Copies of this chain bind each other. A is one copy, B any other.
Amino acid sequence: MSIEPEDVSESLFEAPPIAEQERMVEAILFACAEPLSRAQIETRMPHGSDAGEALVHLRKRYEGRGVNVVRVGDGYAFRTAPDLGFLMQREAKETRKLSRAAIETLAIIAYHQPVTRSEIEEIRGVSVSRGTLDLLLELEWIKLGRRRMTPGRPVTFIATQTFLDHFGLENARDLPGVRELRDAGLLDNRPPPGMAMAQTDGEDEDQEDMFD
């Protein structure tokens, strides 16, 4: 009844037909609530399978259906079609209302990533409270990126796949208005001339303490 996956990969030297692979990807994606990457899908499939090709077929099959295969970062997931949301009010989770500070901080991280805390503060003109970042980290909408190779080696923040998934974005390039902002130079990292109002070095050290 139950076949061990190893048995399958060992005994079958040929990959299953593509139609069968498509069924497999369908089942795997359906079973999982979180997006799975092509590689993650493939490791579950019999040896020699091509999840990429199966995904192309599968996405096409679900175009215009009540559920769709969506791309989220480097992952794929089944999601209900956005136009049918009204049917699912009973499933809707009570979402925490985010403060203005949290929303703006999130947007700054998403559009400017990777971005340091002091850069966020420079953009908003106020200090970022610990609670705001904690909340966004807790929601798994942001995470720590690589440290900036500047004095103090401050940590950076980046947006996560969960963030993309939550807002139905394929990747960060799909953020609304991101191209206009870039063309207008508003995403440039333009340091303030001279002293200006920038709060810089001191804080970066704090960050190190905070996130180590």
* A interface, CB within 8 angstroms of B: 1-5, 8, 22-28, 30-33, 43-45, 64-67, 78, 80-81, 84-91, 168
Contact = CB atoms under 8 A, between A and B. Distances in A.
Nearest to A95: B2
Contacts of A78: 30
Contacts of A45: 87
Given A26-B67, A44-B90, A87-B45, A31 B1 contact: no
Given A1-B168, A91-B32, A168-B1, A27 B86 contact: no
Contact of A87 (B1, B5, B88): B5
18 contacts: A1-B168, A2-B85, A2-B86, A22-B66, A23-B66, A24-B87, A26-B66, A26-B67, A27-B67, A27-B81, A27-B84, A28-B66, A30-B66, A30-B67, A30-B80, A31-B88, A31-B91, A32-B91
A88 B27 contact: yes
Contacts of A90: 5, 43-44
